[in-house]
């Protein structure tokens, strides 16, 4: 069973951190995947890497040290379920990655089409998000295969968008993520672009009206930086896995035939078919 880090004490208490093919760095500098605004945490404090089905951690020469089960780390240490990690005032525990489970086992729920941007039945799958970022105009939850944008019942949300409820976007459908940090007088925002979307390109004043955008204030910014970095990492892994699945010894004509079959079955759109056709040189 794949392992994760779960915050138990400190700024990230209750949040889960997934470790993929790209190593995760932890520190106080905003460029880290996990940012801890803690005076005891160095700019680049520790690194967590994936080794097979296990994860390992190493200290990056921090001033206060990295501790596993209360012992200082001086080299790469493999982690086991239940191990505790101390970085500054933050404590993590190593846990198993949650698995999706059916909310109603007696009822079979058909899967969403491979090119679907949204889950066909939001209540049919339940899992703990890898990371959650709460903003001014909504909350973003990141899962292994999708994000969920949750809107509050505030008067602001009603005036700007109406009470439209939650929105799910599959990670494989996201073409770009734009993160705009807070300015001196302006809030920041995170925006998810999808095929056919009408995302705003004119900054924060139009972004508040975009259903794929969540705005945030300065004290909420670090959470969205971490979410953005993890989301880009997960999207990269999904694309790498898809490339591996499609790799083979097919001729361009055979490959085009398979893509046409996917189009005919409604799995991909005509636009996606044409793009693949041009890529194959037809």
Distance CA 186, CA 95 (A): 38
Supply the pLDDT for residue 153: 54
Distance CA 237, CA 239 (A): 5
pTM: 0.43
What is the DSSP pairing of strand 34-35 with strand 24-27? Answer: parallel
Tell me phi and psi for residue 55, to 5 degrees. -120, 155
Place of tokens 């994860």: 55
Supply the pLDDT for residue 99: 57
Q: Alpha helices of 23-175 — where are they, by DSSP H? A: 155-160
Number of Cβ within a 10 Å radius of residue 71: 11
Tell me phi and psi for residue 264, to 5 degrees. -65, -30
Task: Extract the residue ranges of the chain whose pLDDT is less than 70.
Answer: 1, 98-127, 152-165, 196-209, 242-251, 267
DSSP E strands in the chain: the ranges are 3-9, 16-18, 24-27, 34-35, 46-51, 54-59, 66-68, 71-72, 77-78, 84-87, 90-96, 101-102, 125-126, 131-134, 139-142, 146-150, 167-170, 176-180, 188-193, 213-216
Distance CA 98, CA 107 (A): 21
Cβ atoms of 215 and 207 closer than 8 Å:
yes
Supply the pLDDT for residue 54: 86
Cα-to-chain-centroid distance, residue 133:
11
Cβ atoms of 11 and 100 closer than 8 Å:
no
Supply the pLDDT for residue 105: 43
Supply the pLDDT for residue 203: 47
Q: How many CA atoms lie within 13 Å of 148's alpha carbon, on the beta-carbon side?
A: 19
């Amino acid at each position: 069973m794949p392992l994760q880090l779960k915050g138990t004490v400190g700024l990230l208490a209750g949040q889960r951190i997934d470790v993929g093919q790209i190593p995760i760095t932890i520190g106080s500098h905003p460029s880290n995947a996990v940012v801890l605004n803690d005076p005891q945490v160095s700019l680049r404090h520790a690194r967590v890497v994936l080794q097979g089905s296990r994860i390992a951690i190493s200290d990056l020469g921090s001033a206060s040290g990295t501790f596993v089960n209360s012992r200082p780390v001086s080299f790469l240490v493999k982690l086991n379920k239940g191990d505790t990690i101390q970085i500054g005032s933050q404590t993590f525990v190593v846990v198993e990655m949650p698995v999706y489970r059916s909310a109603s086992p007696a009822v079979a729920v058909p899967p969403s089409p491979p090119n679907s941007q949204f889950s066909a039945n939001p209540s049919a799958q339940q899992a703990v998000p890898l990371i959650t970022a709460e903003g001014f105009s909504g909350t973003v939850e990141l899962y292994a295969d999708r994000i969920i944008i949750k809107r509050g019942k505030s008067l602001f949300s009603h005036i700007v968008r109406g009470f439209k409820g939650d929105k799910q976007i599959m990670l494989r459908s996201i073409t770009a993520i734009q993160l705009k940090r807070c300015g001196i007088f302006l809030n920041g925002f995170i925006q998810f672009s999808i095929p056919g979307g009408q995302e705003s390109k004119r900054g924060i004043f139009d972004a508040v009206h975009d259903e794929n955008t969540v705005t945030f204030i300065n004290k909420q910014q670090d959470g969205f930086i971490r979410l953005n970095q993890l989301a880009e990492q997960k999207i990269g892994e999904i694309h790498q896995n898809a490339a591996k699945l499609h790799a083979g010894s097919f001729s361009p004509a055979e490959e085009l035939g398979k893509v046409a079959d996917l189009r005919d079955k409604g799995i991909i759109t005509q636009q996606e078919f044409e793009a693949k056709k041009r890529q194959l040189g037809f």
